[in-house]
Amino acid sequence: MALKSTVGNIVSKLFANTLAAGVDVAVPVGIQRKAPPTYTPSSGAVTQTGYEEESVNALEGDYDNLTILNSGGSIRLGDKKFSFHAPDLPNGIDIGTIVARSGKNFRVENVTEITNPLDSSEILFYECQCRQVG
C-alpha cells in the first residue's frame, strides 16, 4: 500500500514543481472548454452558454520523428504533448478542449489516461496530443 501512494506522491510533486528544489518541469497553461449547455423547460431549447477557463500546470513535450512516422498520420509535425495531473482536472479533459501556452492555442486531439501501475483504478495524469490552431 505504501508503494502505491509513493507513486502518486511523486507524480503530484512533479506537477507542483516540488520534486526537486529549483527544478521546474511543469509549466502554467490555460484550459478553455465548453461550458455545460443550459436547458429552458418552457421552450425545450438547449443553449450552449460559452466557455469555462482555468489555469493548471502541465508537462509539455514534443513528439520525436519516429513517433510521428509510426503514428500512421494521426500525429503531425508540430503537434505537442501536454500532460495534466488528474486531481487538477476532476472532470477529466475532452477532445476539443483548448490549451493556451505562450500565446499559442492548441486543440486536444487525443487523450490517454495514465493510471497508477499498482492500482489501475487511480488515474495519475492525462496525456494529451494537441495541435496548434489559429
| pTM of the entire predicted model | 0.81
CA–CA dist 67, 52 (Å, integer) = 33
Per residue in 2-41, pLDDT (tens digit) is: 766 788 888 888 878 777 777 678 899 999 987 777 888 8
Residue matched to cell numbers 490555460: 30
Strand spans (E) along 65-118:
80-85, 98-101, 104-116
> Per-residue pLDDT averaged across 105-128, rounded?
94
Predicted pLDDT of residue 38: 81
pLDDT value of position 41:
87
Distances (CA, A) of 85 to 3, 31, 36, 67: 19, 13, 22, 23
Q: Is the confidence at residue 61, as pLDDT, over 80?
A: yes
- Walk me through the domains of the chain, giving residue ranges and CATH numbers: 2-133 (2.40.10.270)
